[in-house]
Chains A and B, each alone.
Chain A
Amino acid sequence: MSAATSLRRQRNASLLVVGAVTAIFVGTASVDHGYNWDEWAIVEAARESVRAVEIVQPNHGYNGFYFLCGTLVTFAHGLDDLPAALIEIKQMPTMPFDPARYRAIHRWQLDMYRLLGSEGFKLEVRRVFLGLSALAIPLVFLTVLRLFPRRYLEAAGAAALLGLSWEIAVRARCTEVDAPQMMLVALHVYLTSVALTTTTRARTLLAMLGVGGATGLVLGCKMTGVFLVVPSVLLAWAVPTHRRASERALLVLAMFAGLGGALAFFAPETFSDPIRVLHHGFNTAEGYRSVQPGYPFYVEPPHEHFYRIQLWTFLVAPSPLVPVAAALSAISLAGFVRLWRERRRFSLLVAIYPLAVVATMSALPLLQQRNFVQLFPFVCVAFGAGLVAIRVRWPSPRVAQALLALVGAAMLFNAGWLFHAQRSVRDTTRDTILEEVRAYVSGSERDLYVSRRLHGALRETFEERFECAWPRTEEPPMRDPRLVMYYTDHIPRHWLSVRMGFVERTFAPLDQNYDWYATWKGHLEHHRVVAVSMESAEEMNVQLQAMLRCRRR
């Protein structure tokens, strides 16, 4: 086979892989994943928008991009009422503007109130977030391809790492701004690579405008976007096409024009209501600073925070299986080295944002892993670079085939897990959970501490295999015991999160990685059963006196 044919086949195969990965990412998303405690914010904001017939948010809980997604859904539903409303307004343009005067608007408002009260609205908004987040997959593909031209399979591998990550999929299907922000950060990285490698000055100028736009969009999602301004400005000094000071100043101006334009469109309150926006920003920062030990997401800053971020990024996010995640991360680490050696300017610029985010967040005692979803595209791009590094270091076709087989197997496992999780969210009920717990209890060789409610639900199983009694003052020690109980048998706010392996086993739909988000409600919160080690139980201050002691017969 000729080199040209081989390259064409690789290109076609990589496009097929990226398409399939995107389809799996969107198709297995389980947007109907239950109750999201934070969703009221977008529903209430949309309700307020409908009441006032306004797009700009009067109350700021998050930056504008988040609310805009909800408002877009409601206004999309009103498109068919728009002509009638405009005709009525033209006929009766009275001041002040009172939406209730116009029948078409009133009819639309009633329809929207009905929509906002239904599950349908939440699902539609979740789909918007999911669709936006899915764009990160082709963006990672294009970035690797831009940095390492014609390395189609390596770029597809990087895209697959992102698109088949369960952690990313879980966050992308929620009404949370973090996953769309991740996509926008990926867009920024891609446009940075374009600005550095494009051919002409006009294209560089356009790329800088885009970089500014992406910076504005990230800032429109969360305040951490402000850290992107620095690399966006420095980029003007790094592009090869513009050398003179005046030319660089023009690039910076273009970048700020893009930034301002994006903010004006997607987060207009930044200009219309800057004091409230800043107030919200400081309030959020204070909230992150003020958590105390015992709070589920509390970590010791900075070392423990930093350590757990790295744990999640390199051992959890790439794959649900830790050894697989470790192997994939090893390739990413090789990729970081490759990027540093071969794409020095790009690496220097792009490293500023993740380092600033990690440094800032590590100084705070509150860790929520969703804040670090936006860093995963960097790991994925490095993964692509790592694959390139291995191919360059060992050019033998056998090594290439072995690499393809190993990475392919890991990705197949990740894809399989996404399908498994989707079925789990769809099919898990109270009864299936109890069936699993019954199997666990029956197969366990250990003694168990069991909550009264769980014991009542599985009375026959416990009576058949265990001797259960309330704790007495004098009794022999239990054999390697575990605590098994419903999640709600302990005070929900005492469950410790962001700790890998803290809970030995969770019997629940796979709508969340409960190691990292133990207090998530989701599906069937009241029926979720957990098995924890005695050390974990002690750390959470579980009252063991209130548990039945079940000794194996």
Chain B
Amino acid sequence: MRALEPLLLLDASRASAELGEARRRAAAGSIDASARDAGRAETLWASGARASAYGYAERALDRALEAAAHAGVEDEALSRLLGERWAGRVERARAAACLPAPRSDDELADHHAELYAERLACAGRLAGALEHRTWAPDAIARARWVRWAVGLGVAALFAAFALYQIRFEPPRPQAEASAYRTVDVVQTWPPENAVDRDEMSYWHLPPGETGWLELTLSPPRDVSALRVMNAHDLHADDQNRYDRRRFDHASRAIVVRAYAGGREVAATEYELTRLRALDRDTIPLEARGVERIRIEVTSFWGAGGGLAEVEVLP
């Protein structure tokens, strides 16, 4: 239940009810005063008025301790509220009140600066721990609703994302091909490029040749269609510094065959066009328990066959 406290706010309602309206208001007022003094201290420090800032930091801690007293948190209860370490720090910061305060910026020594930072940290910590206790009952109810709504909303988003990943993002198929085009060790157009979800990378057949691309689905799955993007030279300017011929590959007539249990279970013929925009063709292919899909390129546009992307639709 402790872990759910930020959502349930049970401690806050209990403490608020125990305090009563008058003490709750007094504690809230002290916390506000502490926050204002801490803000003044930080602003003065940033502007270089460090001795004045020191005084406000002292006041901020005093006000926070005053709030604790209003909230019924006595000295021994501080460790329950803040933990042993922070309770000790608060105690030491309070005990250091006997140190003479600097009267000018020139008198402000390193130990004053450390004490200034420590007082602000303690005041902030104490005020933060007490804040929930000083909320009015209706504010607690409202905060509870808001936190539940936000928590559930975030959880729903995560759940939807996880569900999408599990249900709608099947593992990518493995791609093999009868052949692929290579110029040298750097310039190659391998079959993996057809399933890498990158519209700007392509599988190319060697120039002038027909051939096939085969996708292995593991585990086997039901298939309703293929979504195919033909190889293209869109954006070719960006990639090859104006040698458009390098990208003059695109498939034309293709035959798609699906295999399950070692035999052909579906086949369809399709004619692809040369792309003028980054469009995909959806090719119906109904089959169950498909293990592999073979796309045979029987004719091509330009210098040779090729495909940019192939997606298997469930």
Q: Indicate, yes or no, whether A interacts with B.
A: yes
- B-binding residues in A (CB < 8 A): 2-5, 7-8, 32, 34-35, 110, 113-114, 116-119, 146-150, 196-197, 199-201, 240-241, 243, 342-343, 345, 427, 429-432, 521-527
Bound together, the chains give a CA A199 to CA B106 distance in angstroms of 14
Q: If the complex has contacts A240-B105, A524-B237, are A343 and B186 also in contact, measured as CB distance less than 8 A?
A: no
Q: Identify which of A4, A119, A201 contacts B131 (C-beta below 8 A).
A: A4
* B-side interface residues, number (CB < 8 Å): 42
Q: Give chain B nearest CB distance to A69 CB in angstroms.
A: 21
B interface, over-half SS: helix
When distances are taken between beta carbons in the complex, the residues of chain B under 8 Å from A2 are 28, 31-32, 35, 131, 134
A interface, over-half SS: helix
Chain B residues 21-65 with CB under 8 Å of chain A are 28, 31-32, 34-36, 39, 42-43, 45-48, 50
Q: Mark B217-248, 1 if CB is under 8 A from A, else 0.
A: 00000000000000000110111011000000
Residue of B nearest to A528 (CB): B237
Stretch in B111-119, B159-167, B297-305 touching the partner: B111-119
B131-A523 in contact (CB<8A): no
A3-B50 in contact (CB<8A): no
> Which 5 pairs, one residue from A and one from B, show the smallest C-beta to C-beta distance?
A117-B186, A149-B42, A34-B238, A199-B113, A4-B35
Q: Give chain A nearest CB distance to B204 CB in angstroms.
A: 14
Q: Give chain A nearest CB distance to B244 CB in angstroms.
A: 9
Most buried by A among B45, B238, B276: B238
Interface assignment of B278: CB less than 8 Å from any CB of chain A:
yes
Most buried by A among B113, B117, B128, B237: B237
When distances are taken between beta carbons in the complex, the residues of chain A under 8 Å from B278 are 427, 429
Bound together, the chains give a CA A122 to CA B281 distance in angstroms of 30
When distances are taken between beta carbons in the complex, the residues of chain B under 8 Å from A200 are 110, 113-114, 117
Q: Give chain A nearest CB distance to B110 CB in angstroms.
A: 5
Interface assignment of B93: CB less than 8 Å from any CB of chain A:
no
When distances are taken between beta carbons in the complex, the residues of chain B under 8 Å from A201 are 110
A150-B186 in contact (CB<8A): no
B46-A199 in contact (CB<8A): no
B238-A149 in contact (CB<8A): no
Interface assignment of B185: CB less than 8 Å from any CB of chain A:
yes
Q: If the complex has contacts A199-B117, A200-B113, are A432 and B43 also in contact, measured as CB distance less than 8 A?
A: no
B200-A119 in contact (CB<8A): yes
Q: Give chain B nearest CB distance to A408 CB in angstroms.
A: 20
A149-B110 in contact (CB<8A): no
Q: Identify which of A117, A199, A345 contacts B114 (C-beta below 8 A).
A: A199
A117-B187 in contact (CB<8A): yes
A524-B187 in contact (CB<8A): no
Residue of A nearest to B43 (CB): A149
Bound together, the chains give a CA A116 to CA B238 distance in angstroms of 16
Q: Identify which of B39, B188, B237 contacts A526 (C-beta below 8 A).
A: B237
Most buried by B among A197, A199, A343: A199
Q: Give chain B nearest CB distance to A123 CB in angstroms.
A: 10
Q: If the complex has contacts A2-B28, A2-B32, A3-B36, are A147 and B237 also in contact, measured as CB distance less than 8 A?
A: no
Q: Give chain B nearest CB distance to A453 CB in angstroms.
A: 15
Bound together, the chains give a CA A414 to CA B134 distance in angstroms of 40
Interface assignment of B127: CB less than 8 Å from any CB of chain A:
yes
19 A-B pairs within 8 Å (CB atoms) are namely: A2-B35, A2-B131, A3-B36, A7-B35, A34-B237, A119-B201, A150-B42, A196-B48, A199-B114, A200-B110, A200-B117, A240-B48, A240-B108, A345-B48, A429-B277, A431-B276, A523-B237, A523-B238, A524-B237
